[in-house]
Amino acid sequence: MQTSQGLVQDAYVRDNNKLGVVVCPKVRPNEVRPLAKSLAQGFHKNFPNQDLKVLIYASDKKLILTTEYDIQTNQVKYS
């Protein structure tokens, strides 16, 4: 949250492989995927040996994007 430049209101980690992030209302829809990818890559540095999920929520706590980081392929998938 400290390096998010005001884009993230809240964040939590669950099960050592899920990062939930609540974004500020000022985050535009076209900024969500790049932010999620950046968060997934940063999260991977802390948990390098496991698949990860980053769940992006709007400020009203509704899920808007799920990002999955696959360590086998080193790829990020969105749903």
User: Is 17 a domain residue?
Assistant: yes
Q: What is the pLDDT of residue 44?
A: 87
Residue 21 lies in a domain: yes
**Residue-wise pLDDT tens digits, 2-56:** 555 678 899 999 988 999 999 999 999 999 999 999 888 888 888 888 999 999 9
30 versus 1: which is more confidently predicted?
Answer: 30
Assigned domain for 3 exists: no
Provide the pLDDT for residue 3: 53
> Per the domain annotation, does 51 fall within a domain?
yes
Q: What is the reported pLDDT for 45?
A: 86
Among 35, 31, 76, which Cα is nearest to 52's? 76
Q: Is residue 16 part of a domain?
A: yes
The total number of structural domains in the chain stands at 1
Residue 71 vs residues 11, 18, 30, 50, 65: alpha-carbon distances, Å: 22, 14, 25, 6, 19
* Cα–chain center distance at 42: 9
**Residue range of the domain that includes 28:** 8-78
